[in-house]
Amino acid sequence: MGTTKPKRVGIYARASTGDQDAQLQVEELRRLAVQRDWKITAEYVDEGVSGTKTSRPELDRLLADAQAGRLDVVLVWKLDRLGRSLQHLLSVLDDLQSWGVGFASARAPGIDTTAVSGRLLLQLLGAFAEFEREMIVERVTAGVRRAQASGKHCGRPKVEIDLRPALAMLREGNGLKATAGAMGVGISTLRRRLREAGEWPRREGVQEAPAGRAAITGSTT
C-alpha cells in the first residue's frame, strides 16, 4: 500500500505596528503543522501591516500560490490575522474553497475546513454574515424613509448655485445649455434650481437654445 502524501501547508502570520511579534505566531504554527503531519511549503508574514487593509503583500502572495495549486491548506494563528472583517474573511475562504484549498486556525480549532465539523461551522458563519448584511440594509432603508418623511434631504449634498449670473445670461438671450456650461453645472441641475426659485420656465414662448445661440421667442417683428 502506498503512503499518503503529507498536505502542503502555507502558514500566514501578520503583526500590526506595536502588535505582538509575528515570529511568535510563526513558531506556534510550525509546531501545529508538525503535529498534524503537514509539510510547510511556504511561510507568509506581513510585518507592520494593519488588518484593515484588504491587500497585503504576503497575503496576496499566499492567495496567488493557493490559486496556482501550490498549497493544500492555509494555516493561520487567529481569524483576525487573515480577514479585516467577517465579510472579507468569508470572501477569502470562499476563494480558497473554490481552489480546493483547506483552511485551519490554530486559536480557533473549530474552524478547520479539512474536517466535516469545520466546514459546517463555516457555513453557519456565512449564514450569520448574510443575516448581518440584511439587517444593515433594513436599518438603512428604514432610516432613509424616516428622514424623508420628516422632510430631510437624503442622498448627495445639494449643489448650491448663485442664480444671479445665470439669470443675467438668460436675459441676454443665452440658452440654458450655454448658461449651464459657463457656470460649470449640469443642464438638469440648473433647470431644477431655476424652477425651485420660480424662474423657470422663463416666460411663455421661450425655448431652450443650442449652445452659443440666442433663445428663440414666440414673437415676431
**Residue spans of beta strands (DSSP E) within the chain:** 8-15, 39-47, 73-76, 102-105
Can you give the C-alpha Rg of the chain in angstroms?
Answer: 31
- What is the crossing angle of helices 86-98 and 57-67, to 10°? 30
CA angle 73, 26, 42 (to 5 degrees): 45
DSSP 6: P
Strand order in the sheet with 102-105: 39-47, 8-15, 73-76, 102-105
Residue of 163, 165, 157 whose CA lies nearest to 194: 163
- Residues 16, 98, 117, 219: which is the catalytic one? 16
DSSP 100: T
Residue of 10, 15, 97, 104 whose CA lies nearest to 56: 15
16 is catalytic: yes
Amino acid at 207: Q
Distances (CA, A) of 5 to 2, 21, 30, 37, 147: 9, 32, 18, 10, 62
Which residues are marked as active site?
Answer: 16
